[in-house]
A and B are shown apart, each in its own frame.
Chain A
Amino acid sequence: MAAPSDIAIDVEGLTKSFDGRVVVKDLSMQVKRGTIFGFLGPNGSGKTTTIRMLCGLLTPDSGHGTCLGFDIITESDKIKRRVGYMTQRFSLYQDLSVRENLEFVARIYGMPDPKKATREMIARLGLKGREEQVAGDLSGGWKQRLALGACTLPNPELLLLDEPTAGVDPKARREFWAEIHALAAEGLTVLVSTHYMDEAERCHEIAYIAYGEILVRGTVEEVIEHSKLTTYTVSGENLVPLQSALDQKLGVDMVAPFGTSLHVSGRDAAKLEAAIKPYRNDKNFKWEHSEPSLEDVFIDLMQKSKDNFQ
């Protein structure tokens, strides 16, 4: 195989089913080296299964591809050496201390000086003073930092992070993303799955997956543009009756409250305009044509795909 180019992940037609239930269907994707690639989609959409196929933890039923230039089916041993995988559920040893967990990882990857590498990682993670604490006693945020530290410790070329920030407070999340960007700046490729829209917006590129298929991919701007969604933001008093009224209207595909305002969106601009016309002159409401948010786009995608699959 040719020397790995600037593509870190290149897979085509990946399919996987469990007990006859198709979880990932004919999935193809490319991820450029050095980018942060966001993997979005509802629960059970196939994100975890895809990530596991990329690092050799699951064998695809069909399809092929490479990860860091190595075949995902026949060369998973080589991939494992170069990939750091952070599982959705904390999967380090709860009964080992922070230091012991990191040293174990360093030894498995054959690092020349496991103790030194561990000391440096502890300093980088800001876990100094907690080295001897058992991992099970750490709070959610610290556990997540430790898990990230463990999978970046062997200097991987690619990080696969499966919902790394689930259940973590906003401050820890922000610090986590700062770290991810720092790592990407060093040349690391990061594939991260998430539910959070604000996190999606921190990615260089995103893909939205539902029912095992990628529905849309590109930069955040591209995805929003591609949605062809027209959105109005309404603000004012007493929005609840307005919401239920609009919900029934033809041409209004989605009404979602955002704080003290409503996002009213439709796939067909003309129909939407017609639907909201009777309410636009109501003095209680302030209407504003706006960009759909990423969340609007994804909820719309989810509804559309649901229509297709049910």
Chain B
Amino acid sequence: MTFAQLFRSDGFWRNVRAMILKEALQLRRDRVTLATMITVPLMQLTLFGYAINTTPHDLPTAVLLQETSDVGRSIVAALENTKYFKVTQRVHSVDEFDHLLASGKVLFGVEIPAGFERALRRGDKPALLVAADATDPVAAGSALGSLAQVVQTALRNDRAIPDIGAMPFEIRAHARYNPAAETQLNIVPGLLGTILTMTMLIFTSLSVTRETERGTMESLLSMPITPLEIMLGKILPYVLIGFFQATLIVGAGLVLFQVPIVGNVFLLAFLTTLFIATNLAMGYTFSTLAENQLQAVQMSMMTFLPSMLLSGFLFPYAGMPVWAQYLGEIFPLTHFIRIARAVMLKGSNLIDLHYDALMLFILMLIAMGVAVTRFRRTLD
């Protein structure tokens, strides 16, 4: 075909117009695509604009008070006055303190050692011990940076210390779990969850609609097989595929980026399998709700995008407003990213992680329940 033939003069625009009209008519009937066109940009805008904040604030913080003193109270008050920290726990033993960090209940810990006030007044430059969960370096970094200034200002205002120029104490920060603040250590566990979400959702979200579209559903429904049997039969093979995929990602993380698995490998395997099953169940649910494969893919994308943004994978969870944090809780990815980071980098155990594991399980049951009840057993 020559270039001139490409733009033949007779009726070129007429044909283009006819095609445009046809596309517009089809689009008008395709409610889901229309809805996607409107909601995706709105959702992105809202989430990026309001929910995502790369300077985290209200980081859940534990204070370990080894002494009761005015200085201690001053420091706690100062921490609470900043937007960075939110003192959620006051504990009195190191064990409790460690457990809070390992389970992810707090991201920050400030330890005021015994004799801190006295040493301060003597001008001995005592150490304020700070432990940060550095599995997410972005979240920990800026807060850590601001800490010294915040505390010094507070102490000065409270006239707890003589007004001298030099800093009267030192901050001994310990970036736990990822002392070098390497981004890969944080990214790889997150990527594990993100990739699995993406592929698993797509796999099963197509499974039922594909049968409906190809006409095989009619045969299948006329056979003696129950919706539960169909669902399990469609989900289980993909669990294996997902598991293989997970192994690949973790293995590559280990070889290429030296991302360790500090915790129990079997615990990681078990919880990853649970996460895979949860995503497959959700995808399958979409498949029973969608009318065709395109709708199913659209539903998967509508789940995947916000879960990537709200799960703490790209942006610190602690930086999001409360409503966004609650919203984040409904996505399996949020819970899995906590699990993967905790097991791989912190060595957390199942007791530390029982909340997130339970949430994954509940989300899976809800998805399966919806799928089995919504599955159309007839062609009505």
User: Which A residues are within 8 Å of any B CB, using their own CB?
Assistant: 52, 55-59, 77, 80-81, 83, 85, 87, 89-94, 105, 108-110, 150
Question: By the criterion CB–CB under 8 Å, are B379 and A58 in contact?
Answer: yes
Q: A59-B380, A77-B224, A87-B218 are in contact. List 13 more A-B contacts (CB 8 A).
A: A55-B222, A56-B222, A57-B221, A59-B378, A80-B224, A83-B222, A90-B215, A91-B215, A91-B216, A92-B216, A93-B216, A108-B223, A109-B223
Q: Which residues of A contact B379 (CB under 8 A)?
A: 52, 57-58
Complex CA–CA separation, A110 to B217 (angstroms): 19
Q: Which residue in chain A gives the minimum CB-CB distance to B221? A: A57
**Contact sample, A vs B, 24 pairs, CB 8 Å cutoff:** A52-B379, A56-B378, A58-B378, A59-B378, A77-B224, A83-B222, A85-B219, A87-B215, A87-B219, A87-B222, A89-B218, A90-B215, A91-B214, A91-B215, A91-B216, A91-B217, A91-B219, A92-B219, A93-B216, A108-B224, A108-B225, A109-B223, A110-B224, A150-B219
Question: By the criterion CB–CB under 8 Å, are B218 and A91 in contact?
Answer: yes
Q: Which residue in chain B gives the minimum CB-CB distance to A162? A: B218
Q: A52-B379, A58-B379 are in contact. Are A105 and B214 (CB under 8 A)?
A: no
Chain A nearest Cβ from B215, distance in angstroms? 5
Complex CA–CA separation, A108 to B378 (angstroms): 18
Chain A nearest Cβ from B166, distance in angstroms? 76
Question: By the criterion CB–CB under 8 Å, are A80 and B223 in contact?
Answer: yes
Partner of B223, one of A58, A59, A105: A105
Chain A nearest Cβ from B296, distance in angstroms? 18
Q: A52-B379, A93-B216 are in contact. Are A57 and B224 (CB under 8 A)?
A: no
Partner of A58, one of B214, B215, B216, B380: B380
Complex CA–CA separation, A55 to B378 (angstroms): 10
Q: Which residues of B contact A93 (CB under 8 A)?
A: 216
Q: Which residues of A contact B214 (CB under 8 A)?
A: 91, 94
Chain A nearest Cβ from B364, distance in angstroms? 26
Q: Which residue in chain A gives the minimum CB-CB distance to B219? A: A91
Complex CA–CA separation, A59 to B378 (angstroms): 8
Chain A nearest Cβ from B46, distance in angstroms? 37
Chain B nearest Cβ from A271, distance in angstroms? 46
Chain A proximity mask over B343-380: 1 for CB below 8 Å, otherwise 0 = 00000000000000000000000000000000000111
* Those of B275-326 within 8 Å (CB) of chain A: none
Chain A nearest Cβ from B217, distance in angstroms? 8
Q: A81-B224, A109-B223 are in contact. Are A89 and B215 (CB under 8 A)?
A: yes
User: For the complex, would chain A's binding face be called helix, strand, loop or mixed by DSSP majority?
Assistant: loop
Chain A nearest Cβ from B137, distance in angstroms? 47
Task: Count CB-based A-B contacts (< 8 Å).
Answer: 47
Complex CA–CA separation, A110 to B225 (angstroms): 10
Q: Which residue in chain B gives the minimum CB-CB distance to A89? A: B215
Complex CA–CA separation, A109 to B223 (angstroms): 7
* Those of B218-240 within 8 Å (CB) of chain A: 218-219, 221-225
Complex CA–CA separation, A83 to B223 (angstroms): 9
Q: Which residue in chain B gives the minimum CB-CB distance to A77? A: B224
Q: Which residues of A contact B217 (CB under 8 A)?
A: 91
Partner of B222, one of A85, A90, A94: A85
Complex CA–CA separation, A83 to B219 (angstroms): 12
Chain A proximity mask over B86-122: 1 for CB below 8 Å, otherwise 0 = 0000000000000000000000000000000000000
Complex CA–CA separation, A146 to B218 (angstroms): 16
Chain A proximity mask over B20-36: 1 for CB below 8 Å, otherwise 0 = 00000000000000000
Pairs A-B, 3 closest by C-beta atoms: A91-B219, A85-B222, A91-B215
Q: Which residues of A contact B223 (CB under 8 A)?
A: 80, 105, 108-109
Chain B nearest Cβ from A204, distance in angstroms? 24
Chain B nearest Cβ from A282, distance in angstroms? 53
Partner of A57, one of B215, B216, B378: B378
Complex CA–CA separation, A6 to B222 (angstroms): 24
Q: Which residues of A contact B225 (CB under 8 A)?
A: 108
Chain B nearest Cβ from A24, distance in angstroms? 13
Q: Which residues of A contact B378 (CB under 8 A)?
A: 56-59
Q: Which residues of B contact A110 (CB under 8 A)?
A: 224
Chain B nearest Cβ from A58, distance in angstroms? 6
**A56, A83, A108 interface centre (most CB from chain B within 10 Å):** A108
Q: Which residues of B contact A91 (CB under 8 A)?
A: 214-219
Complex CA–CA separation, A150 to B219 (angstroms): 10
Chain B nearest Cβ from A270, distance in angstroms? 49
**B224, B225, B379 interface centre (most CB from chain A within 10 Å):** B224
Chain A nearest Cβ from B237, distance in angstroms? 14
Q: Which residues of B contact A77 (CB under 8 A)?
A: 224
Q: Which residue in chain A gives the minimum CB-CB distance to B216? A: A91
Complex CA–CA separation, A83 to B224 (angstroms): 10
**A57, A58, A94, A110 interface centre (most CB from chain B within 10 Å):** A57
Q: Which residues of B contact A109 (CB under 8 A)?
A: 223-224
Q: Which residues of A contact B215 (CB under 8 A)?
A: 87, 89-91
Complex CA–CA separation, A3 to B91 (angstroms): 76
Q: Which residues of A contact B380 (CB under 8 A)?
A: 58-59
Complex CA–CA separation, A80 to B226 (angstroms): 11
Chain A nearest Cβ from B143, distance in angstroms? 54
Complex CA–CA separation, A89 to B223 (angstroms): 16
* Those of B188-223 within 8 Å (CB) of chain A: 214-219, 221-223
Q: Which residue in chain B gives the minimum CB-CB distance to A147? A: B219
Partner of B218, one of A57, A59, A81, A150: A57
Complex CA–CA separation, A59 to B377 (angstroms): 10
Q: Which residue in chain B gives the minimum CB-CB distance to A86? A: B219
Complex CA–CA separation, A93 to B225 (angstroms): 16
